[in-house]
Amino acid sequence: MKKGFFTGFLSAMLLCVPFAEAGHLKAEKVYQRNWCEKAGGVAEFRLSDSTRVDCVTKQYAVEVDFAPKWAEAVGQALYYSTMTEKRPAVLLILEKEADKRYLDRLERISGNLGITVWTITPEDLE
């Protein structure tokens, strides 16, 4: 493989990074910061292992994610809860009607795992 091709490919990939959430109406951080501020929490709370909790409130370690990533959010919420000794929670971002199927899946298991679930929509930002 030629060096020029590799450099060009790498450059193209790096240029795509800012557009990773291009399929969404708003960036995840917009929802995260809006909700966390209203909840009186601390956004991007750094843990001892250098991971970051999306929002930490007095009671909760909250993972914020888009609806299709509901299962990943469960694991992160449980981990952050263990690390902070706070209750696990997920703030699920619902941008379209079809996202409700993911909310149904999350709600089906959240009670058994002790995870509190909240939702946020683009309309909630207005």
Percentage of the chain surpassing pLDDT 90? 79
pTM: 0.82
Quick check: 19 pLDDT over 60?
Answer: no
Q: Which residues pair with 53 in a beta bridge?
A: 45
Q: In this predicted model, what pLDDT tens digit does every residue of 46-86 receive, in sequence order?
A: 999 999 999 999 999 999 999 999 999 999 999 999 999 99
Fill in the DSSP letter of residue 47. P
Cα–Cα dist 110/65, whole Å: 15
